[in-house]
Amino acid sequence: MTPNLKMGLTSKILLGMLLGVIFGLLLRNIFPDSLFIKDYITEGFLHVVGTIFINSLKMLVVPLVFVSLVCGTCSLSEPSKLGRLGGKTLAFYLFTTAIALIVAITMAILVHPGNASLAAENLTFNATAAPSLSSILINIVPTNPLHAMSEGNMLQIIIFAVIFGFAIAHIGERGKRIAALFNDLNEVIMRVVTLIMQLAPYGVFALMAKLALTLGLETFGSVVKYFFLVFFVLLIHGFVVYPVLLKLFTGLSPFTFIRKMRDVQLFAFSTASSNATLPVTIETAEHRLGADNKIASFTLPLGATINMDGTAIMQGVATVFIAQVFGIELTITDYAMVVVTATLASIGTAGVPGVGLIMLAMVLNQVGLPVEGIALIIGVDRLLDMVRTAVNVTGDSVATVIIAKSENEFNEEIFNNTQAGKTTGSFKKQVHAGESEQS
Ligand code: ASP
């Protein structure tokens, strides 16, 4: 037997990241102010390769969410089951976001990262107006589903797909034919996901190199305590809170879960977008973790849109930090207000880079804190965005496994099979549900 010298996808992605950072830092230090590097490498080659990678992931999001959710709902034909699934998912998402915020705020009060001297800095930040609650509610129902798809409006696509799938389940024989067609389409899209995942090492190389070349960390010094506090709470949430919840609710091994989540987390980290990561999250939940398509196709797109625990953590710590910097005492009612508004803000945060920081303005306004405070933390937000996105997608996946298990729509054999669904070096060679890899 020849030794298997082929590297797994995860190792290749990690290598891509590492080489990207090294490449970027080297260029930055060897040619500090070179316009050539800026125009042709940073904004040229690296920008093109990185953007093509992210675009190719985004390209799949709308067809994948629509097709996969239609498949999921046509097999969930009873309204009561659908209602229960929706209720459970929302309750679980709100529950984990509340835990995230309570831990974040408590830690920020205890560690006290804000220092009043920072307020002397010249701060300006132009807040974009956050949408009102009524417009968020009205906009859930699309007036034109094609428009919703062309705009990538996830909640509207979810609503339309659920109604469409539900109707398919209720038109008898003809519905079965359409359902079979959607199932085949779903397989095709999943295959394309596998193909694009093969390109990830090159994509993340470009993204990381560009980041290393452009990231300005000048403001880092003054907010170092804030940065590490957010980072620490994110780690606690991702590696302690979620695993404990998984163990408590399902009895499954958190270690297996964490191991199988690695690719999803790396994609989320390098793209800083829950939406762009969605194809990989769905593929992993179904083929590697063992959640049935009925559940994953519903919980994951919904989670990528409304469940942002990592973002809530940043918003919780940032609010307390800004209050401390400006010497404003927050009362217990204010803290409760922060929990409520940051939960709503994280629901309203789109799964794309940087939006969490914009939504922070809404939380600050609500508790009467100066929005200019955001200028203080903007310099370190890009890095935190990457980490919090990894936490956001982990939260969606934990919820999916827990809900799938509670609905008996979970394949424990797949979960426990370390090779199940593993993407190997080749596009054709993906190990499928319940099989074990032949090498
Ligand atoms: N980038 C985050 C996500 O996609 C959202 C945010 O916090 O800005 O999940």
* Amino acid 193: pLDDT: 87
270 found inside a domain: yes
* Amino acid 35: pLDDT: 87
Residue type, 94: L
Query: Is 310 within 8 Å of 342 (Cβ atoms)?
Result: no
Tokens representing 290 are 């063992």
Please indicate whether residue 268, judged by its CB atom, sits closer than 6 Å to ligand 1: no
| Ligand 1 atom closest to 277 (CA) | 4
- CB neighbours of 236 closer than 8 A, spacing ≥ 6? 103
Strand runs labelled E in 52-131: none
Give the number of domains in the chain. 1
| Ligand 1 atom closest to 304 (CA) | 9
3 found inside a domain: no
Pocket test for ligand 1, best of 269, 388, 393, 397 (most atoms within 8 A of CB): 388
Nearest CA to ligand 1 atom 1: 353
Strand runs labelled E in 219-260: none
Count of H-run helices and E-run strands, the chain: 20, 0
* Amino acid 345: pLDDT: 84
State the distance between the two ends of the chain, measured CA to CA, in whole angstroms.
10
Query: Is 246 within 8 Å of 402 (Cβ atoms)?
Result: yes
Please indicate whether residue 307, judged by its CB atom, sits closer than 6 Å to ligand 1: no
224 found inside a domain: yes
Report helix angle 172-198 to 47-74, nearest 10.
160
1 found inside a domain: no
4 found inside a domain: no
CATH code for position 115 = 1.10.3860.10
354 found inside a domain: yes
Alpha carbon of 57 to ligand 1 centroid (Å): 16
Spans in the chain with pLDDT lower than 50: 1-3, 425, 427-429, 431-439
325 found inside a domain: yes
Please indicate whether residue 388, judged by its CB atom, sits closer than 6 Å to ligand 1: yes
Query: Is 174 within 8 Å of 159 (Cβ atoms)?
Result: no
Rounded to two decimals, the pTM is 0.85
101 found inside a domain: yes
What domain range is 410 assigned to? 9-436
Helix, strand, or coil here: 132? coil
Nearest CA to ligand 1 atom 6: 356
